[in-house]
Amino acid sequence: MATFISIVDVFGDPHVLGLWNIRFYYNPVTKLIEPIPYDQSNIKPKRCSFKNEHPIFGESLKTNQETVQKCDFYSMLFNDVVFYTEYIKALNFISSNDFITNFIHTHHNQIILKSNLLKREGGYSKYSFNKDLGILKNNADYIQQYLKPIQGVHTYLHNKKGDQIRLEIGNYHHFPIELVGVFNIEKELIDSCHEPILLQAHIDKEQINYELAAFHCELDPSDLLIGYRILGLEKIIYSKVILNPRIGYNSNLVYDANQPLIIDTLNKILSVKKGIWNVNKSVVLPKNYKFICDSNLRINLRNGSRIVFQGKVKLSTSGSIQIESTDSSKCEIVINNTARTFFKNVLFNNVFISSTNSFENTFKDCLFMGSNTHYIESEMSKFTFVNCTFFKKELKFKNSILLLKSCVFKKCDYPITVFK
């Protein structure tokens, strides 16, 4: 069954996975229940979009859960961690270039025979197997890239006492991840997980879930790597430890009475009073609130503080809005939502901007300047820049969609880096 689903993934059309298109047969020789599918008539290209369409069938499914929807056949199937493991192994094998090349070579004569029969059918006179083969190979390449991500987790330092270090680790990949342990810079194992730790697959529109893991290690956290792998695969992926503590995302909105925020609890809207405001501690704006600003405003971030946007954001004005950092600490704007963010006529000065798994971020008539090298970093997000100016700034995008219109880069040696 795992192999069958992985084959369907390579074909790109899940129609045959409908239970009305499958019969199950008990094989007395293997003593296994085997699927007999039919009505698989299309080979379709995989799609990668930001509308939460999952081009790989086994993405973003929970496994090893105590409760599962009993009426959902595939949820029950993938809830078995053994099955999920076998599925990813089969997916890796079926989508490999060696398998597809050997299969085509071995069955070449049969493919020619069947192709000629198809051409005799009405509507298939111009059928070309080479076209379908190209789609199959592109689908397989897409799956292989997905199974071999450059990064798949965020790792934050929770605390370190003596030779014990505790890390908060969150999976933002759409497949489950197994933690291996902590390694030094030379990728030598320092300490393995004392018990198996499985990070559930990330689900779009949900916050990343973090697990606390403890290790014995005398090295400085800046010299550590966390090692992990996609469930069922052997390749270990390494990620650096973020030394700043993770900001907890909760929806409780409690601020001092003298703070600059105006809170409309009835309509779930946040806004900021006019003036110049210094922010010395990190602020989390919860996802169930909309953040709006349309007045002259200047926000000065200090002491490594961050503003974390979890909900819808609209900063638009005919005047000016300035967000800056006047000290030497790394201050940051974090976009961590599945709603739209819109910035217009905003000056960002010496502020680092990052985004992970956010749906759509639009910057119009904005100016980016300051001394930070990599000004905007994005993973699995969508960014649109219209009439923006970047001065000595660089953009780094991983697995993201980037749209630029009428933008200007001044004194930027390598303005844009986009990689998978």
Neighbouring C-alpha atoms within 13 Å toward the C-beta of 29: 1
d(CA 332, CA 283): 11
Contact call for residues 245 and 221 (beta carbons, < 8 A)? no
Q: Measuring CA to CA, which residue among 322, 328, 248 is closest to residue 283?
A: 248
pLDDT in tens, 73-127: 888 899 999 999 999 999 999 999 999 999 999 999 999 998 888 888 777 778 8
pLDDT in tens, 131-146: 888 989 989 998 998 8
Residue 48 pLDDT greater than 60, yes or no: no
At CA 171, angle to CA 330 and CA 179, rounded to 5? 110
Q: Name the residue with higher pLDDT: 223 or 389.
A: 223
Q: Mention every residue, 6+ apart, whose C-beta is less than 8 A from residue 237.
A: 149, 150, 151, 152, 227, 228, 229, 230
Q: What is the pLDDT, as a whole number, of residue 116?
A: 87
Q: Is 348 helix (H, G, I), strand (E, B) or coil?
A: strand
d(CA 64, CA 61): 10
d(CA 339, CA 310): 8
Helix H, strand E, coil C: the string for 73-98 is HHHHHHCCHHHHHHHHHHHHHHCCHH
Contact call for residues 95 and 110 (beta carbons, < 8 A)? no
Pick from 254-263, 290-299, 355-364, 406-415: least confident? 254-263
Share of the chain above pLDDT 70, in %: 87
Residue 49 pLDDT greater than 60, yes or no: no
Q: What is the pLDDT, as a whole number, of residue 213?
A: 93
d(CA 373, CA 307): 20
Pick from 50-59, 88-97, 269-278, 339-348: least confident? 50-59
Backbone phi, then psi, for 6, in 5-degree steps? -65, -35
Q: pLDDT-derived band of residue 251, with 50, 70 and 90 as boundaries?
A: very low
Q: Name the residue with higher pLDDT: 143 or 295.
A: 143
CA distances from 168 to 158, 159, 244 (A): 6, 9, 11
Q: Is 111 helix (H, G, I), strand (E, B) or coil?
A: helix
CA distances from 367 to 276, 343, 390, 391 (A): 19, 11, 6, 8
Q: Whole-structure pTM over 0.75, yes or no?
A: no
Query: Both tokens of residue 303?
Result: 């002491």
Q: What is the pLDDT, as a whole number, of residue 328?
A: 67
CB atoms within 10 A of CB 252: 6
Q: Average pLDDT, stretch 393-405?
A: 77
First vs last Cα of the chain: how many Å apart? Answer: 30
Q: Average pLDDT, stretch 20-44?
A: 89
Q: pLDDT-derived band of residue 405, with 50, 70 and 90 as boundaries?
A: confident
Q: What is the pLDDT, as a whole number, of residue 233?
A: 95
d(CA 354, CA 339): 15
Backbone phi, then psi, for 173, in 5-degree steps? -90, 155
Q: What is the mean pLDDT of the chain?
A: 83
Q: Is 271 helix (H, G, I), strand (E, B) or coil?
A: strand
Q: What is the pLDDT, as a whole number, of residue 52?
A: 40
Q: pLDDT-derived band of residue 371, with 50, 70 and 90 as boundaries?
A: low
Question: Which of 230-244, 279-293, 384-398: highest mean pLDDT?
Answer: 230-244
Token pair 């390449």 is found at 141
Helices (H), ranges, 286-361:
none
pLDDT in tens, 176-189: 999 999 999 999 99
Q: What is the pLDDT, as a whole number, of residue 326?
A: 78
Q: Average pLDDT, stretch 282-293?
A: 81
Domains of the chain: 2-147 (no CATH), 153-240 (2.60.40), 261-419 (2.160.20)
CB atoms within 10 A of CB 311: 19
Residue 190 pLDDT greater than 90, yes or no: yes
Residue 154 carries which side chain, given as an amino acid letter? Answer: H
Contact call for residues 366 and 386 (beta carbons, < 8 A)? no
Q: What is the pLDDT, as a whole number, of residue 247?
A: 58
Q: Name the residue with higher pLDDT: 356 or 137.
A: 137
